[in-house]
Amino acid sequence: MYEKKRDVVPAQRILESFDKDVNCTIRYTFKHGKMVRTDISYGRGYKSVIEELEEANEGLPKTKRKYLTDEGKIVGYLTAKKKGLV
């Protein structure tokens, strides 16, 4: 009697998300219901943590500099020396 219509899912979907605090846009691409690609684009003037540390450490002596650990934490000279970063 009544024929049930199937929902037609497009082969490719794109979802965009914008974050004002970080000034970045994340674009997700889905094919057949599975995520296949992620693109991240940053706004003008964006600096990574490493770039910010390099600028802050410029011209400072070793003992006053900040260092980035493998876990992503920013530590002082003594902690970096104990962990073998210096």
Cα 19 to chain centroid distance, Å, stands at: 11
Q: In angstroms, what CA-CA distances link 80 with 33, 51, 52, 68, 69? A: 45, 18, 18, 8, 7
Residue 1, pLDDT above cutoff 90: no
Q: Is the pTM of this model over 0.85?
A: no
pLDDT attached to residue 33? 79
| Domain boundaries, given as residue ranges, for the chain | 10-44, 47-86
- Percent of the chain at pLDDT > 90 equals 33
Report yes or no: 73 and 62 within 8 Å, Cβ to Cβ.
no
